[in-house]
Amino acid sequence: MFIDFEKYIKTQADLTDQDIKLFRDTAMEKTLRRKDFLLQAGDVCRYKTFVCKGFLRSYRTTDNGNEHVMQFSPENSWTTDPESYENHTPSSYNIDALEYTEVIMWTKKDFDYLFEQLPSLKVYSDRLIAGNLARTRQRVFSAISATAEERYDEFMKMYPGILTRVPLHMVASFLGVSRETLSRIRHTQVKP
Amino acid sequence: MFIDFEKYIKTQADLTDQDIKLFRDTAMEKTLRRKDFLLQAGDVCRYKTFVCKGFLRSYRTTDNGNEHVMQFSPENSWTTDPESYENHTPSSYNIDALEYTEVIMWTKKDFDYLFEQLPSLKVYSDRLIAGNLARTRQRVFSAISATAEERYDEFMKMYPGILTRVPLHMVASFLGVSRETLSRIRHTQVKP
DNA sequence: TAAAAACGGTGACAAATGTCCTCGTTTAGG
DNA sequence: CCTAAACGAGGACATTTGTCACCGTTTTTA
């Protein structure tokens, strides 16, 4: 399991085998079956998590019980609730597994230590966060400027392959439209 | 003008007078009249900008010419296009002044130098970015989960005082609804 | 200070989307 | 392997929102 992470992180940051050992010494491995939770709303998100294999989903629930997907996390991606993780506050997010999933996690204490020891990790992390912010801003822009169909097309371009792994209603939830609306959009697009 | 920044930054990061001098030596002051641009779409955003006085707006324009406000920046706040600034790529954003405005700007080269010299500045900046990401994520969640009226109420709670400084249609644009819809939402709310 | 532009509101109508329902099909899991 | 749940589709209708047009007032600016 850790080997997946090792392969990946070496392509992203300049790290020696000694550095990798630091990661391994503090990493916690975990496997999740479909529908298992990595984080439940109300709990504090205590870990940064790397997805080695499988598929996670982050979502929030409104007062009336509707689920809204904020993020999909396939293998070779990171997930956490940054707000809860940084401030040790109860999270608003649920993170669960959509299929059998293997992850590695680090506590904030341990990961902060890694930052101190490995300057290039901080550079990599900053780049990740910058990319995350850029994508989130783009999503806001789409939400306030584009039609449901345009948002769907953009989603398919940006995340090809996700649709084959998650049920349609979760994509609809991610886009902020009802399941039925997305179904109709897709139907009108098959004709031409 | 610089004195406004000095007062502010001292409340945010632990800095000596010597540190402040480093800021001053590289700062560029600029004043903007109403409707002047700080950044135009297509140009590279070369500066981090601190608003000492006045009010800036960041917005993007769709292909059909509609303006969509991404951010309001009153005095004592920062603005830039992080994506363009970091990568030296042409920006999609316009930033203009809604009233007479005084700003201080630093080039990336100079600001990166400040980061090297002042560790506490990096800590402060990371905190700013984390807050920015949290707010942007919250805005996505509102966009995909809340009604126009709920988003308006949330906006008024989160940014009280903005409505008195900007025309209604810009708030509508920020929220992703038409001017008319926002006008009606406000009308139904005055009755009770 | 006078003309022009911006602004906020509103009615009428159209378009987009949500809600509720039913119905086969597929998939998950005991 | 079999049953229950999940899924995707679609019809009918209600609701929300956008669009267009117009109006009177306020603000800007030449």
Q: Does the CB of A12 fall within 7 Å of any strand C atom?
A: no
Q: How much is the average pLDDT of A29-49?
A: 96
Query: pLDDT higher for B65 or A140?
Result: A140
Give CA–CA dist B73/B28, Å, rounded.
Answer: 18
Contacts of B175 in chain A (CB under 8 A): 144
pLDDT band at A191 (very low <50, low <70, confident <90, very high): very low
pLDDT in tens, A78-101: 999 999 999 999 999 999 999 999
pLDDT of residue A14: 87
Report d(CA B54, CA B34) in Å as an integer. 9
The CA–C1' separation of B185 and C13, in angstroms, is 19
Banded model confidence at residue A40, pLDDT cuts 50, 70, 90: very high
DSSP A132-149: HHHHHHHHHHHHHHS-HH
A56 within a domain of the structure (yes/no): yes
Confidence grade of residue A38 (pLDDT, cut at 50, 70, 90): very high
Question: Higher-confidence residue: A192 or B92?
Answer: B92
pLDDT digits (tens, 9 = 90+) for B30-62: 999 999 999 999 999 999 999 999 999 999 999
- What per-residue confidence (pLDDT) applies to B64? 85
pLDDT of residue A192: 39
A55 band by pLDDT with thresholds 50, 70 and 90: very high
Which stretches within B47-118 are classed as H helix?
A: 82-87, 108-117
Q: Which residues touch strand D (CB under 7 A)?
A: A 167-169, 179-180, 183-184, 186-187; B 34-35, 147-149, 176-178, 180-181, 185
- Phi, psi (degrees; rounded to nearest 5) at A175: -80, -15
pLDDT bracket for residue B123 (50, 70, 90): very high
Which pLDDT band holds residue A136 (cuts at 50, 70, 90)? very high
User: Would you state the pLDDT for residue A156?
Assistant: 96
Mean of per-residue pLDDT scores for chain A? 95
Residue A94 lies in a domain: yes
Nearest CA in chain B to A84: B134
The per-residue pLDDT for B65 is 87
Q: Which residue does chain A place closest to B175, by CA atoms?
A: A144
What mean pLDDT do residues B79-83 have? 98
Which residues of chain A approach chain B closer than 8 Å at the C-beta? 60, 62, 66, 68, 70, 82-83, 86, 126, 129-130, 132-134, 136-137, 139-141, 143-146, 173-176
Residue B45 tokens, joined = 């955003």
pLDDT tens across B129-139, in order? Answer: 999 999 999 99
In a domain, A55, yes or no: yes
Q: Is residue B181 part of a domain?
A: no
Confirm whether A113 is domain-assigned.
yes
CATH number at residue A106: 2.60.120.10
Question: Which residues of B fall within a CB distance of 8 Å from A136?
Answer: 133, 136-137, 140
User: What average pLDDT does chain B have?
Assistant: 95
What whole-number percentage of chain B has pLDDT above 90? 94
**Percent of chain B residues topping a pLDDT of 70:** 98
Our measurement of CA A82 to C1' C25, in angstroms, reads 40
DSSP character at residue A181: H
Nucleotides of chain C in contact with protein CB (under 7 A) are 6-12, 16-21, 28-29
Structure tokens at B29: 């002051």
Q: Which helix (H) or strand (E) holds A32?
A: strand A28-32
Range of the structural domain that residue B84 is part of = 2-107
Chain A CB contacts of B146 under 8 Å are 62
The pLDDT tens digits of the residues spanning A102-122 come to 999 999 999 999 999 999 999
What's the confidence (pLDDT) of residue A189?
77
Is residue A36 assigned to a domain? yes
Does residue B33 fall inside a structural domain? yes
Domain count of the fold of chain A? 1
Single-letter amino acid, residue B189: Q
| Percentage of residues of chain A with pLDDT beyond 70 | 98
Indicate whether B185 belongs to any domain: no
